[in-house]
Structure 1
Amino acid sequence: MWRCLHFKLGRTRLHQINVYLVNAFTEQGKGGNPAGVVLQADGLKDEQKLAIAREVGFSETAFVSSASDADFAVSFFTPTAEVDFCGHATMAAFHVMFEQGVLTQGRYQQNTKAGRLGVTIEADGHIVMSQNLPLYLKRFDYAEISALIGLDKSILASTQLPLEVISTGLADIIVPVPEGYLDKLKVNDMALSNFSRQHNVIGLHAFELCDEGEVFTARCRNFAPLFGIPEESATGSASGALACYLTQYVYPCQSNHFTFEQGSAMGRTSRITASVESDEQGISKVFVGGYAQIIGQTRPVA
């Protein structure tokens, strides 16, 4: 798939902007969450990056620049604003650099507005991202959240699990729902946008646990309408937060490995792996991983 994108900002005309189109967190080469990737973005201003992200139209576009104290600096833009971090766009960016021969298997460091984070590329192209240690920021009562997602508060309360904002790079409300209710969510985009703005969160990450012995630990859905994302099919940052949530409240082990499914409600089933390591002081490491696939790119504008 080739697309010619023309960007004009005032008197500034951008030439030779090549945007890779990538599905991240694919499941057997299918599904995943699309992201844009721009390499060698050093000369781009923030308003230009925003214009490109808006034109690409994906939930996030990653812009890779040089860095003096890391391998790369990576910034992330939605169609409406810059965000501090994006898991699936990170995976997309490093997959592109691996596929294009810029990088080989190994360990790398990226500077983001969420901090300096490690990325490991394995020989088969599997990418594992380190995330920040979890911040448990605030809790909400069941009535507050039920009004946003169209489920009665008694249904949410039946899980006996907290509704909590957790950040491993971006702050999301982690919302457990009983089995069979995930696909019944009816999110009020305007109400969730206002709520997210009021409480300084990106959005809401809902999940239902799968039965023991299934391939997936949990099925998930993510909503961030405040940032122009009514729903997305794979969310790396929220998957790290969910792994910490499950370790804290459901599976209290020193080493946990999870596999999450997301995107089936959108017809874009995605697979996300997450692992957590803990010690006497609590969670000490958080990793999120998966595969990606380039689906096209823009032709440079002459």
Structure 2
Amino acid sequence: MDLLRYVAFSNDTSGGNPAGVVLDATGVDETAMAALAAEVGYSETAFVVPREDGSLGIRYFSPQTEVPFCGHATIATAVAHAQRHGVGELLLHTQAGPVPVTTETAADGSVLATLVSVAPRSTALTDPDLAELLTALRWSAEDLDPKLPPRAAYAGAWHPVLAAASRTRLADLDYDMPALSSLMARRDWATVALVWRESDTVFHARNPFPPGGVVEDPATGAAAAAFGGYLRELGLVDTPTTLTVHQGVDMGRPSLITVGVPEDHTAGIKVTGTAVALH
């Protein structure tokens, strides 16, 4: 397998979220995929199988598990594909469903990729799950922003959403990894989306990812898509709108995620970002 290494949601290799990309994994079984992802050690490695109709099958593996959908590895894959085959439109077949992706060349020569998630949805967290989640994070109910209620949100993978009442609370991340990992495994949650609202359309995020063996993800496109759907479903933003999500700042890997939220509640959420190769 020809392994490529990219950082997504940054135009600087010192920022963003690293991802492995294999543009042709034809004939490779999941055992070999999992082994390579563990060896690479990035939060996700994407394995692509080209199809005769020009679309792409894709699977995503963290160092410890396979996930149905990953945003940053999708952006990295789309940029890598465009740099070899030209910009345009792609259709990715993920385990969560079809994800169309468009790539274009930006004014500075970089490649910009936009994915459209599967239809998002959210559900309330049970009181016991919320209590266990707060305990594992070492947060209290007073740490939460009452204007953004806790929920589990989905746009290809499930992410509980907790909104911090202050930027200071978000900046102080010190959680019980075994306890959080156990809860997330039982609930099939991919990452925890911790957010703080700076303004109507600007948010800061942090995403613990213990199920993948990763303490924190520096940029989480799948969670950003799920969060966009959550905001729309609860009427917490005027639609259509474009959101800016800053992530990775507190861990020294600043990332920028642009989230497009259409008015149509059945429409997928757009996630846009760039990616650069690691040499």
Pick from 256, 266, 270: which aligns with 2:255? 270
Pick from 121, 125, 133: which aligns with 2:103? 121
Q: Distance in 2 between matches of 1:120 and 1:46?
A: 27
Contact in 1 for aligned 2:7/2:15 (Cα 8 Å): yes
Gaps of 5+ in 2: none
Contact in 2 for aligned 1:37/1:62 (Cα 8 Å): yes
Structure 1 residue 18 corresponds to structure 2 residue 2: yes
Structure 1 residue 83 corresponds to structure 2 residue 55: no
Pick from 63, 81, 99: which aligns with 1:97? 81
What is aligned with 1:294?
277
What is aligned with 1:189?
177
Q: Distance in 2 between matches of 1:82 and 1:237?
A: 14
Partner of 2:123: helix, strand, or coil?
Answer: strand
TM-score (norm 1): 0.85
Residue 38 of structure 1, CA deviation: 0.9
Residue 202 of structure 1, CA deviation: 1.4
Partner of 1:291: helix, strand, or coil?
Answer: strand
Q: Deviations over 1:231-257 (max 9, x none)?
A: 110000000011122223463423011
Q: Superposition pairs for residues 221-236 of structure 1, below 5 Å?
A: 221-236=206-221
Partner of 1:268: helix, strand, or coil?
Answer: coil
Q: Distance in 1 between matches of 2:78 and 2:217?
A: 20
User: How many residues end up aligned between the 2 structures?
Assistant: 272
RMSD between superposed Cα atoms in Å: 1.8
Q: Superposition pairs for residues 54-69 of structure 1, below 5 Å?
A: 54-68=38-52
Q: Distance in 1 between matches of 2:77 and 2:267?
A: 26
Q: Which amino acid aligns with 2:15?
A: G
Q: Superposition pairs for residues 244-263 of structure 1, below 5 Å?
A: 244-249=229-234, 251-263=236-248
Identity of aligned residues (%): 30
Contact in 1 for aligned 2:51/2:57 (Cα 8 Å): yes
Q: Distance in 2 between matches of 1:116 and 1:77?
A: 18
Pick from 144, 165, 180: which aligns with 1:178? 165
What is aligned with 1:161?
148
Q: Which amino acid aligns with 2:62?
A: T
What is aligned with 2:140?
152
Residue 26 of structure 1, CA deviation: 0.4
Q: Distance in 1 between matches of 2:149 and 2:52?
A: 42
Partner of 1:203: helix, strand, or coil?
Answer: coil
Q: Which amino acid aligns with 1:129?
A: L
Q: Distance in 2 between matches of 1:200 and 1:50?
A: 19
Q: Which amino acid aligns with 2:142?
A: S
